[in-house]
Amino acid sequence: MSKVVLVTGASRGVGAEVATQLAGPHHHVVVNFREKAKRADAVVDAVRAAGGYASAIQTDVSDEQAVAAMLAEIAERFGGLDVLVLNASGGLEPGADEDYPMRLNRDAQVRLARLALPLMAAGGRIVFVTSHLAHFHGRKPVPADYLPIATSKQAGEEALRGMHQEFEAAGITFVVVSGDMIEGSTMVRLFERRDPDAVAARRHAGDGLPSAKEFACAIVRATHEPHRNGDTVYVGGPDYLS
């Protein structure tokens, strides 16, 4: 029996890497994306070329009706959902209003998890993807222009942790995967343009920065390895943990 896995924001970056690493006969990967249809189709093609099953669904996860429609489509086409990877993130897009980071990184994540629960049987998994900058916000410094994301992603993580009883009652295990800056990512390229020393310091703090492949590998493992409800997996940034 193959597992149905929904990866939000899987048209590029870490989400695309997670989707392709899940390629195989035992998963049907639902590649969610907001606007980049060609990139999402390329991810679907890569999964299929590797012998797996995948479909792309365009949905802005901050749009409640669109999310309900996506989940209805998943229920109808696949009969349910086994794993939800809450990877999609953002908030600094040009033209975004100041409330958008909280709507996307907190409210949309909680709503999606809550609406997905009825589709998920006991034994299912919800994985929330976050950054050390957000997870450790308040305990470690955050670049000023990342603050809206750090604050809203941390609020999203806390709100999801607040659903502990709901997850427990449904037999769903919730796992958080937090990563240091990811080498070569759009975010790090942006940081590097504004503050190359800060990124160099992060590289220096560990044995280099984790790659998207390494981060995705930890996320994929978190979808199936044994975990307790609420566990956190850390990738890179050993200085954050000391």
Ligand X SMILES: NC(=O)c1ccc[n+]([C@@H]2O[C@H](COP(=O)([O-])OP(=O)(O)OC[C@H]3O[C@@H](n4cnc5c(N)ncnc54)[C@H](OP(=O)(O)O)[C@@H]3O)[C@@H](O)[C@H]2O)c1
**Contacts to ligand X by CB under 6 A:** 8-15, 32-36, 39, 60-62, 87-90, 104, 129-131, 153, 179, 181-182, 185-188
Nearest to ligand X of 60, 166 (CB atom): 60
Tokens of 16: 């695309």
On whether the CB atoms of residues 164 and 230 are closer than 8 A, the answer is: yes
Q: Which is nearer to ligand X, 154 or 173 (CB)?
A: 154
For residue 147, the minimal CB distance to ligand X (Å) is 14
Return the number of the residue (124 or 179) whose C-beta is nearest ligand X. 179
Report the Cα 95 to chain-centroid distance in Å. Answer: 23
d(CA 178, CA 121): 26
Residue 131 beta carbon to ligand X: minimum distance, rounded to whole angstroms: 3
SS (H, E, C) 141-186: CCCHHHHHHHHHHHHHHHHHHCCHHHHHHHCCEEEEEEECCCCCCH
Choose between 31 and 170: whose C-beta lies nearer to ligand X.
31
User: H/E element holding 20?
Assistant: helix 13-21
Q: How far apart are CA 106 and CA 95, in angstroms?
A: 19
Closest distance between ligand X and the C-beta of residue 213, in Å?
12
Distance CA(1)–CA(226), nearest Å, equals: 19
Q: Which is nearer to ligand X, 101 or 170 (CB)?
A: 101
Closest CB 1 distance from ligand X, rounded Å = 28
The residue type of 139 is R
Q: What minimum distance in Å lies between the beta carbon of 164 and ligand X?
A: 21
Minimum CB–partner distance for residue 3 and ligand X (Å): 21
> Rounded to whole angstroms, how far apart are CA atoms 231 and 103?
24
Radius of gyration of the chain (CA): 17
- How far does CA 50 lie from the centroid of its chain? 22
* Nearest CB to ligand X, comparing residues 10 and 44: 10
Q: Are 229 and 167 in contact (CB under 8 A)?
A: yes
* Backbone angles phi and psi of 205, in degrees to 5: -65, -30
